[in-house]
Structure 1
Amino acid sequence: MKPTPNRYAVQFGFTALYLLLSTIVRVALLCWAFPVATLSFGNILSILAKGLVFDSGVAVFFTVAYSIYLLLLPQRLNKTWFNKAFTGFGFFLALLIMIFSFFAEFTFWGEYEARFDFIAVDYLLYTYEVINNINQSYPLPLLIGGVLAGTALLTWLAARAGMFRASFQSYTPLRMRLVITGGTIAIAVLHLYLVSNTWAETGKNRYQQELSKAGIYSFGSAYFNNELPYDKYYIQEDDKQAFAEMRSLLQSGNSKYLEPGSSIYRHIADTAAAVKPNVIMVTIESFSATFMERFGNKERITPVLDSIAKESILFTNMYATGTRTVRGMEALTLAVPPTPGQSIVRRKNNEGLFSLSTIFGNAGYDRTFFYGGDGYFDNMNQFFGNNGFDIYDRLRHRLVGDNFPTKRENFPDSAVHFENAWGVCDEDIYSAVLKKADEKHAAGKPFFDFVMTVSNHRPFTYPEGKVSIPSHTSREGAVQYTDYAIGQFLKQAQQKPWFKNTIIIFVADHCASVAGKNEIEVNKYHIPCIVYNVPNEVPREIPTMCSQLDIYPTLLGILNWSYNSNLYGRDVLAADYQPRAMISTYQLLGYLEPGKLMILGPQHQAQTFHVKDSTGDLQSQPMDSVLLRKAIANYQTAYTLFKNGGMRKL
């Protein structure tokens, strides 16, 4: 059946084609996720219905400018070559973007089991790392060729069906054009004001939420809503009450608040003689506890870490605060609960904050941030450089000026034996750490190093011949290489004169995957933390539930330090410590205690869950007002302190 002659035939045809293809993509993703998503028939109907609404909005946004063009185009120009070329090129370009986005959605789902979000927005800004990552992970020339070929084929089929001819050979009166274009604009405006991406997030099943969304719609929502103001979207208490609750939660027998009211600034006192060793913290990319044999893995891919865990202080019940590297960095430097939206590492006005760098700097330590890639990515250099750390990274953005007061040193080409899209391999970064430690020791300077590895990241490539699993094969191979590189690092470090007086911490920034059927998948925030070579300490396990925020308050307690603190972390070994952890997505803020979880969400939502010990599954429970007050106290005060400058150095 040929299209009815109408100037808007191409707009209508493109809309129908988009709705058809986007539905196919949604159904394909649904089939992909179905074995693990536990979706009911009602869930599936909801996914398809909401998906159609979002898809309709995307189709309208794609065509609204063209619709206005058709309204204004004089009838005498309708058959001209200009109109034919403009319409044909516009159709091809819009179709190309559409097909590319569909391809990208499949790759994004494979990595994150989610539609586009803040991560996709971030990736658009860092083209070097992302394009190289895609190129090293997938046959890029074939994929680009496939996208172009698919676009050309669909354009030819549209022309063959008479869609363009129906538009160019039509006469559409001005009154009808006003109705069609006016309707298109009205639908676009209604979508902008009435259909929020959060509408897809009303269900409790995370897969249902993500499958209901449209990738392009989600991308736009993420781009324009990078940060979620806590005071606008989340349930609150009076600030005075929130801070009173928070001060009560942080109060300990050896602490004294130094300021009244809306502050957590306090002095931690210790009467024993302080021990001041060097500290190297190795933050391992995407390292779940489940990779280690100690936590049930049967593949024996972490023999080094499993071995040193028996010789160390091992936190067996620690949770990451979030799902991205910058969120882990935030927790491990600032010891602050994750506020909604972007990590503080990526926000404006994040310089000069009170952090672990402040504490170690006050004690006379040199501080260096080591990163295998270019620290321009994710704003790392700006954050660390403006918070007391020297920078040692792989310089790529040579035209971007460093705007921080500390030093930046580059990996020389001679020191790089292997690198991929994200940076140098772990062995190379450890060589740099060893070199700088030698220099600082020779100069008589104690040092605190923050080391961020990259090898355990897609495309999972690393030097050949190091481990039994070939490079570019699987996540397990990258984990095995990560463990191997740690073994080589420790062998060399143990020969150094500074080793006996150096603590080495191995901790994950976040887990490898946090997707699941629950809104927050508790078990997928469980990370290992190994504190190795602590002076005068016997190996032991700490089974108490805790957070990344608690690592340094606990370590400084072991070392008998007295110091001022603006940290939300607590000494886990203190007699008055109350087990808890903060876990989050970009929008959902979780406050976890043994067996129970409070989730705060946008639109002033709060819900209590029982957490099954064996599976981590969540069961909805009546509101726990005590747990709610604790959750609000942590998240509201953290947001307020950052917003009002209360996290600045004191």
Structure 2
Amino acid sequence: MKHFALAFLAEGKSFFQFIARYSAFWLVYFLLCRAVFILYHATQLKTVPATTVMGAFFYGFRIDLSTAGYLGVIPLLIWFIHTLFPSKYTKKVITGYTTFMLMLVALITTSDMEIYRAWGTKLNALAIGYLRYPKEALASMSSSPILLLVAICIGLSLAGYFLYRKVFGLSFAVSSRSFSVVVSRFILFIVCSGILVLAIRGGTGLAPMNPGFAYFSNFQFANHAALNASWNLMYDLKHFFKHKNNQFVYMSDDEMHERIDRLMGGKRPNDTEHILTTSRPNIIVIILESWTADVIGSLGAEKGIAPYFDELAAQGILFTDFYANGYRTSFGIAAILSGFPSTPEGSILNRPNKMERLPTLAGTLKANGYATSFYYGGDTHFDDMNAFFVHSKFEAITDKSSFQAKDLNSKWGVHDHILFERVLSDLSRQSEPFFSAMLTISSHEPFEVPMNTVFKGNDQPSLFKNAVHYTDKSLKTFFDNARTQAWFKNTLFILVADHGSILPLHRQNTYPERYRIPLLLYGDVIRKDLRGSKRGVTGSQSDIPATICSQLNLPEKEFVWSNNLFNTNRNNFAFYIFSGGFAMLTNGQIVLYNTTANKTILMDNQQQTDKQSAETLKDGQAYLQNLYQQYSRF
């Protein structure tokens, strides 16, 4: 045992020294690349504070470490084989691999700098795609400083090679191959591999490494400087090729535009019913995790699951035929706060170069004098949400990192009552008018909540109902305390779910019941004659931005996919996507279509003819085709 321990310690020093020196080399090299990127865009430094620019190095470190982890996998494997079967060629192989990767990273970094100068975006799959057109690509490069870029690329390659050979030189000496030594090497290889996996993933948290980790500033240049160019390109290519063959072309562009104009009311006047007593209220959006209509008694569900919500509904305006645009939180966030529907490509939040093209409700309100803030009890880096919140111009972003360790009692972060307490505390000091959005967390799996059990049973439906009931109780406490605040009487509250759920009734994943969610407008700013009313218009989350802007007499045109719910001339419909397809809903009409198999799943023509059902399908196809065209152009 003593011999094994000594062997393990000796070999451990060798293994850890190898991985540490090799990773450190890449980390220093990435710092150099980032510095060159910043200097290349020196004109940006006139408008971005120096401290913010320096922050790019700090916030980019974790992505640099992830990239170094990827690059270290092959050398670690070669080193491990070398410790078992020493070879004089090992050093040459690792040096050759590293030299090749250095030149590749230098090329990516240099290309990224010029693409950013020309397009204002990081090097991505769209830019790579233009290599299919070499003549046009060369033409577009005519104004680029080719000689300077070549010099930078060569300089970065040589500097990296010098760092590797002279500063971070590796030792390839190998000791004996006794039994205890060989066993130690196997164990250490597994341990070091685990370290690289942690580096690649970004740690042990729920959120794996994503571009949101680099977003920290309202200055997009600083965020882009923090993004490792090589890592970002790999990430973008991965998401691009995921659905590269799905073009969703069902008709001519002329027919598509004709149908979209009719759907979105392009040729009809916008005649808005004003429901507020003021055009400048405070606005609080409460996004409720997984709150399906199947837990809302006032929407026909079992009574008692969310009784306080029903109390609020009796004094507000409740929409009874309202739907989520997708099935994940990131889909709902994009729809609610940007008016952008979900696409089969996945959430636009996962594509930063596209997400940055979105208009945002917070940005519009901030430009009109509103203070803005966002609150989430979990990790905002999860599913790339942080990058979106920064882009949205939220001036204050609060997540679980802002709370004390004693409050982190949920698997995801802090429970809802703690989040609500923080919101109230902050808003008591907030200047008016303000726009504050928050996302609850406790009704997310595993449904563990700090409350005595109300719905008995350990089955998923019972646990889910308990979790919703807990959030409902937290809402009551929140509103009871909010009513004591001076800002309460001038505040519009919007309560909406981020998405629906198959629970508690085990709904089918594709059917509308799975996507039907509550939307409630509440507050003293709502006209008294409208309080306690229900609206049966068919709508979805993406309709919220235009609806809010219209009530504030603000332009809503930039939210091109948002259909004002209070426009008396609106065409009532909802569109949502599920895995492998989409649904188009109108009043009394449901069409589900599988985009993978290109076939209809369901046509439920409760109030229309088969011919009208076919027209609804064509409308849905036109909607998806146009949506995907815009998404692809972003």
One fold, TM greater than 0.5?
yes
Contact 2:591/2:604 (8 A) holds in 1:
no
Shift in CA distance, 565/273, structure 1 to aligned 2, threshold 3 Å: farther
1:509 is aligned to 2:502: no
* Partner Cα distance (1:596, 1:573) in 2: 21
- CA drift of 1:571 comes to 2.2
1:307 paired residue number: 311
Does structure 1 residue 638 correspond to structure 2 residue 621?
no
Q: Which residue of 2 is the match for residue 499 of structure 1?
A: 488
1:560 Cα deviation from its structure 2 partner: 4.5
Kindly provide the amino acid, as one letter, of the partner of residue 431 in structure 1: E
Moved more, 578-587 or 566-575: 566-575
Q: Answer yes or no: is the 8 Å Cα contact 1:418–1:462 preserved in 2.
A: no
2:261 pairs with 1:247: yes
- Describe the SS at the equivalent of 2:519: strand
Q: Any idea what the Cα deviations from partners look like across 1:477-508, whole Å, max 9, x if unmatched?
A: 11110000000000111000000010111111
Cα distance change, pair 452–626 in 1 and its aligned pair in 2 (3 A): same
Structure 2 residue aligned with 1:128: 205
Match of 2:526 in 1: 535
| 1:428 alignment partner, one of 418, 421, 435 | 418
Q: CA–CA distance in 1 between the matches of 2:287 and 2:417?
A: 14
What is the DSSP-based 3-state SS (H/G/I as helix, E as strand, rest coil) of the residue aligned with 2:341? Answer: coil
Task: Show CA shifts across 1:318-372 (max 9, x none).
Answer: 0111111111111101212211132111213112521212331232212212110
**Could you tell me whether the CA contact under 8 Å between 1:590 and 1:600 is conserved in 2?**
yes
Aligned residue identity for 2:438: V
Instruction: Give the whole-Å Cα distance in 2 for the aligned partners of 1:518 and 1:577.
Output: 30
Q: 1:351 & 1:532 partners in 2: Cα distance?
A: 31
The answer as to 2:589 corresponding to 1:596 is yes
Return the offset for 1:628: 3.2
Q: Which amino acid aligns with 1:329?
A: I
1:370 aligned to 2:375? yes
What is the CA distance between 1:384 and its match in structure 2?
Answer: 1.1
Q: For residues 227-246 of structure 1, what are the structure 2 equivalents within 5 Å?
A: 229=243, 232-246=246-260
SS in 1 for 2:287: strand
Q: Distance in 2 between the 1:584 and 1:248 partners?
A: 21
* Amino acid across the alignment from 1:508: A
1:42-57 alignment runs, 5 A limit: none
Asked whether the equivalents of residues 507 and 513 of structure 2 are also in contact (C-alpha less than 8 Å), the reply is no
Query: Are 1:553 and 2:546 an aligned pair?
Result: yes
The share of aligned pairs that are identical, in percent, is: 26
- SS of the residue corresponding to residue 389 of structure 1 reads coil
Give the superposition deviation at 1:298.
3.3
Alignment-derived partner of residue 442 in structure 2: 455
* 1:373-421 deviation per Cα after TM superposition (whole angstroms, max 9, x unaligned): 111111111111112113433355xxxxxxxxxxxxx2345xx645211
Whole-angstrom distance in 1 between the partners of 2:449 and 2:333? 24
Give yes or no for the alignment of 1:358 onto 2:363.
yes
Q: How far off its partner does 1:640 sit?
A: 1.9
Aligned pair in 2 of structure 1 residues 329, 458: CA closer, same or farther (>3 Å)?
Answer: same
Change (3 A) 1:394 1:435: same
CA distance in 1, matches of 2:245, 2:467: 41
Deviations 1:24-55 (A, max 9, x none): xxxxxxxxxxxxxxxxxxxxxxxxxxxxxxxx
What's the secondary structure of 1:424's corresponding residue?
coil
Q: Matched residue of 2:571: which SS?
A: coil
Deviation at residue 248 of structure 1 after TM alignment: 3.2
Long gaps (5+) in structure 1: 1-68, 70-80, 94-122, 132-222, 257-266, 397-409, 646-650
State the partner residue of 1:384: 389
Per the alignment, residue 477 of structure 1 pairs with 466
* Partners of 2:451 and 2:470 within 8 A in 1: no
Taking a change above 3 Å as real, the CA distance of residues 635 and 461 of structure 1, as seen in their structure-2 partners, is same
2:409 is matched with which residue?
419
Label 1:252 to 1:620 Cα distance change in 2 as closer, same or farther (>3 A).
closer
Counterpart of 2:521 in structure 1: which amino acid? V
2:372–2:435 CA contact under 8 A, matched in 1: yes
Tell me, what secondary structure is at the counterpart of 2:547?
helix
Tell whether 2:514 aligns with 1:524: yes
Output aligned runs, 1:436-455, within 5 Å.
436-441=426-431, 445-455=432-442
Given that residues 608 and 624 in structure 1 are in contact (C-alpha distance below 8 angstroms), is that contact kept between their aligned partners in structure 2? no
SS at match of 2:428: helix
Equivalent in 290, 293, 316 of residue 289 of structure 1: 293
CA distance in 1, matches of 2:323, 2:267: 25
Tell me which amino acid in the other structure corresponds to 1:332: I
- Hey, what does 2:153 align to over in structure 1? none
Verify: 1:346 aligned to 2:353, yes or no.
no
**5 Å matches for 1:149-228?**
none
Q: Which residue of the partner structure matches residue 394 of structure 1?
A: 399
Contact 2:337 2:362 in 1 (8 A): yes
Q: TM-score, normalised by structure 1?
A: 0.56
Contact kept in structure 2, 1:466 and 1:484, CA below 8 Å: no
Structure 2 alignment gaps of length 5 or more: 1-80, 82-177, 191-199, 209-236
User: In structure 2, the residue corresponding to 1:531 is in which secondary structure?
Assistant: strand
Judge conservation of contact 1:370–1:450 (CA < 8 Å) in 2. yes
Inter-partner Cα distance in structure 2 for 1:323 and 1:644:
24
CA separation in 1, counterparts of 2:507 and 2:318?
A: 30
Q: Report what 2:13 is aligned to.
A: none
Name the CA shift for 1:391/1:513 in 2 (closer, same or farther; >3 Å): farther
The 1-side partners of 2:379 and 2:441 are apart by 11
Aligned residues: 421
Contact 2:261 2:267 in 1 (8 A): no
**Structure 2: how far apart are the matches of 1:289 and 1:423?**
25
Q: 1:286 to 1:433 in 2, by over 3 A?
A: same
- Whether the aligned pair in 2 keeps the contact of 1:592 and 1:598 (CA below 8 Å) is yes
User: Secondary structure of the residue that 2:356 maps to in structure 1?
Assistant: coil
| Matching residue of 2:602 | 609
The amino acid of 1:251's aligned partner reads G
**Is 2:415–2:449's contact at 8 Å kept on the other side of the alignment?**
yes
| Cα 1:289–1:611 shift into 2, 3 Å | same
AA at the equivalent of 1:290: D
CA distance in 2, matches of 1:634, 1:274: 34
Distance 2:454 2:610 in 1: 47
Aligned to 2:494, what secondary structure does the other structure show? strand
Distance 1:484 1:613, change over 3 A: farther
Q: 1: distance between equivalents of 2:609 and 2:597?
A: 17
Give the corresponding residue for 2:111. none
Larger displacement relative to structure 2 (595-604 or 362-371): 595-604
- Check if 1:325 corresponds to 2:321: no
In structure 1, what is the Cα distance between the partners aligned to 2:606 and 2:484?
43
Letter in 2 for 1:368: S
- Pairing 1:572–2:565 present: yes
Q: Is the 8 A contact 2:375 2:399 kept in 1?
A: no
Give per-residue Cα distances to partners, 1:237-294, cap 9 Å, x unaligned: 33354234323322267759xxxxxxxxxx9999x99611011000000111111222
Q: CA deviation at 1:597?
A: 3.1
Q: Please give the alpha-carbon distance, in whole angstroms, between the structure 2 residues aligned to 1:480 and 1:518.
A: 23
Per-residue deviation at 1:468?
A: 7.9
Tell whether the 8 Å contact from 1:320 to 1:328 is kept in structure 2 after alignment.
yes
What displacement does 1:641 show?
Answer: 1.8
1:572 alignment partner, SS class: coil
